[in-house]
């Protein structure tokens, strides 16, 4: 188990943010988990520590949102995500975390700027689209595998549908619960589940459950308009952060 107090100074806020997002509130802020923990350990180790915690959070979310999900969206997104995970596994030795962060960040910022500048168009719910859903589902699976950064690509497809907050949150919970389960075997085969990582994950699990439950609580009580404003703002802020992280790492800073 990791005993460095600086690790927990970074990990505890990370778990709180990720837990709230996994509970359905401000979903994209979950992306901040690995970068925060990566301030004190390597991104690879941070991802290995986070995956068991994410799986535990998924259980809380599934219980809270059982029966609340958009079946059509999942039918489009999940098969594509499985393909994206497989590609991520095959490309694990060649694609760096910095490249993924830069790519996801650019897409997230462009997406939110388009939404904010779209005027009345943003008020009209989009129709389900298999081609778009398959594209973003595959990207979400790939980026989730590489750095647990599947949130923005998932949001690219799901937010324009303008689902009710609980329906959107429940759909996201099921999507990422399946994605995280699919990642377990590849992560194990890549050697990310060391004894130290698993012991550290176990220490953080109780906090993860509480944070997820708090996110569920917020979704039930926040106005729909506020919910979407917060979510889009989170997508933008996280996108800027990812662009900065990716660009500075590629530049060698």
Are 140 and 100 contacting, i.e. CB atoms less than 8 angstroms apart? no
Residues 133-149 have a mean pLDDT of 89
Look-up: residue for tokens 């060698």?
A: 252
Q: How many Å is the maximal CA-CA distance in the chain?
A: 53
Of 24-28, 48-52, 86-90, give the lowest mean pLDDT range: 24-28
Q: Quick count: other Cβ atoms within 10 Å of Cβ 56?
A: 21
Give the global pTM: 0.77
pLDDT tens digit sequence for 85-117: 999 888 877 777 777 778 777 877 877 787 777
Are 40 and 7 contacting, i.e. CB atoms less than 8 angstroms apart? yes
């Amino acid at each position: 188990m990791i005993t460095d107090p600086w690790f927990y100074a970074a990990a505890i806020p990370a778990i709180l943010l990720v837990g709230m997002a996994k509970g359905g509130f401000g979903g994209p802020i979950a992306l901040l988990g690995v970068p925060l923990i990566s301030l004190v350990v390597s991104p690879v180790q941070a991802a290995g520590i986070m995956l068991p915690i994410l799986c535990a959070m998924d259980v809380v979310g599934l219980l809270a949102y059982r029966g609340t999900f958009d079946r059509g969206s999942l039918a489009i997104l999940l098969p594509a995500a499985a393909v994206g995970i497989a590609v991520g596994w095959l490309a694990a030795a060649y694609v760096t975390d910095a490249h993924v962060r830069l790519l996801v960040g650019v897409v997230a910022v462009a997406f939110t700027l388009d939404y904010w500048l779209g005027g009345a168009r943003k008020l009209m719910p989009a129709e389900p689209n298999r081609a778009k859903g398959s594209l973003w589902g595959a990207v979400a699976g790939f980026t989730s595998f590489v750095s647990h950064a599947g949130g923005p690509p998932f949001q690219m497809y799901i937010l324009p549908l303008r689902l009710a907050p609980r329906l959107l949150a429940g759909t996201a919970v099921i999507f990422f619960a399946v994605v995280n389960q699919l990642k377990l075997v590849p992560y194990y085969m890549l050697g990310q589940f060391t004894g130290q990582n698993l012991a550290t994950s176990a220490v953080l699990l109780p906090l993860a459950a509480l944070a997820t439950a708090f996110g569920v609580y917020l979704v039930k009580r926040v106005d729909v308009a506020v919910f979407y404003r917060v979510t889009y703002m989170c997508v933008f802020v996280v996108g800027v952060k990812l662009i900065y992280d990716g660009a500075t790492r590629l530049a060698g800073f």
